[in-house]
């Protein structure tokens, strides 16, 4: 438990996130901020990229200067105690290097790496050098990585969850949650692999109708929020999966394209 300057336990732990801006409000930092507020954390947000997209399509993205990203992080780190950290869209090897350097000051803080490589609507969300940089600089520091099967295929030799998780843990990643939304199974099956424990923890969820945008961001950030509250990894993952499924069950369509998780469902007076 972090302590405030007065020595009191911090009731609202701060989570530091690095991610891109999705103007549609579905994914990226809008997803991170709303998830963290819903789960009783304070978001501190370092923006890595601006994307041009709506709920139907991704048109382009512009990465920010790695020095600007390092400066944003540096200003926060000299100011505030951080309880957990999460990375989303990073976009290039130079940005991964800036983020990896920034988080060396947070070696005792759990780091959740959502290895964002593509937009669900198609199209890459990063440069060709991104995968190797994630593999060598950031995933080895991660308390948890949250790849889907497509990201497993890009980051390891296989999309097969057991082998992909083994390869990521061999790089130093301490826990791997392979998410099952993109696998063609009747139920959605998520698998948590832990370097400290041989047993794979499987979690099955009814598959919801609809095409969602921002579910991966919501899940990874929800795990970081629960870790910031001091939960074990297994509890944090279970609670984050429940929160994300409940957000997806109440998803809504603010535009003409994909549905967006209702991340503030606990605050609504009338619950559908």
Binding site for ligand PLP (CB under 6 A): 19-20, 22, 27-28, 51, 58, 88-89, 116, 119-120, 125, 213-217
Secondary structure letter of residue 264 according to DSSP: T
Q: Are 151 and 124 contacting, i.e. CB atoms less than 8 angstroms apart?
A: no
In the complex, minimum distance from the CB of residue 215 to ligand PLP, in angstroms, rounded to a whole number = 5
Output the smallest distance, CB 251 to ligand PLP, in A.
12
Considering the complex, state which of residue 131 and residue 195 has its C-beta at the smaller distance from ligand PLP: 131
Q: Extract the tokens encoding 157.
A: 């030799």
Q: Give the separation between CA 272 and CA 270, rounded to whole angstroms.
A: 6
CB nearer to ligand PLP: give 10 or 150.
Answer: 150
Q: Count Cβ atoms below 10 Å from residue 75 Cβ, excluding itself.
A: 12
* Residue nearer to ligand PLP on the CB measure, 213 or 226: 213
Tally DSSP H helices, then E strands, for the chain.
8, 9
Report, in Å, the least distance between residue 175 CB and ligand PLP: 19
Nearer to ligand PLP by Cβ, of 19 and 110: the residue is: 19
Minimal distance, residue 153 CB to ligand PLP, in Å: 15
Contacts of 108 (CB under 8 A, 6+ apart): none
The Cα–Cα gap between 161 and 20 comes to 27
Nearer to ligand PLP, 104 or 209 (CB): 209
Element holding 234 (H helix, E strand): helix 233-249
Tell me the angle at which helices 233-249 and 215-228 cross, rounded to the nearest 10 degrees. 140
User: Which C-beta is closer to ligand PLP: that of 211 or that of 234?
Assistant: 211
CB 92 within 8 A of CB 127: yes
Question: Least distance to ligand PLP from the beta carbon of 30, Å?
Answer: 9
Instruction: Give least dist CB 118 to ligand PLP, A.
Output: 8
DSSP 8-state secondary structure symbol assigned to residue 267: G
């Amino acid at each position: 438990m972090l302590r405030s300057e007065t020595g009191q336990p911090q009731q609202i732990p701060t989570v530091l996130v690095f991610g891109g801006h999705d103007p549609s409000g579905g994914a990226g930092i809008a997803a991170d901020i709303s998830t963290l507020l819903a789960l009783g954390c304070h978001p501190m947000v370092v923006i890595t990229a601006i994307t041009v997209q709506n709920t139907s399509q991704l048109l382009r993205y512009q990465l920010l200067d790695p020095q600007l990203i390092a400066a944003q992080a540096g200003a926060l780190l000299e100011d505030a105690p951080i309880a957990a950290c999460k990375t989303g869209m990073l976009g290039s090897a130079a940005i991964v290097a800036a983020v990896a350097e920034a988080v060396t000051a947070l070696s005792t803080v759990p780091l959740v790496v959502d290895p964002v490589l593509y937009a669900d609507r198609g199209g890459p969300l990063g440069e060709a050098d991104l995968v190797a940089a994630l593999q060598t600089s950031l995933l080895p520091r991660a308390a948890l990585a949250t790849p889907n099967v497509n990201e497993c295929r890009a980051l390891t030799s296989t999309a097969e969850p057991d082998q992909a998780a083994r390869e990521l843990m061999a790089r130093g990643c301490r826990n791997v949650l392979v998410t099952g939304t993109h696998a063609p199974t009747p139920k959605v099956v998520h698998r948590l692999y832990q370097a400290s424990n041989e047993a794979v923890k499987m979690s099955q969820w009814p598959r919801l109708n609809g095409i969602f945008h921002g579910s991966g961001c919501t899940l990874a950030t929800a795990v970081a929020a629960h870790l910031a509250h001091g939960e074990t990894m297994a509890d944090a993952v279970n609670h984050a999966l429940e929160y994300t499924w409940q957000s997806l069950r109440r998803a809504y369509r603010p535009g003409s394209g994909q549905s967006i998780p209702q991340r503030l469902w606990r605050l609504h007076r009338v619950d559908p």
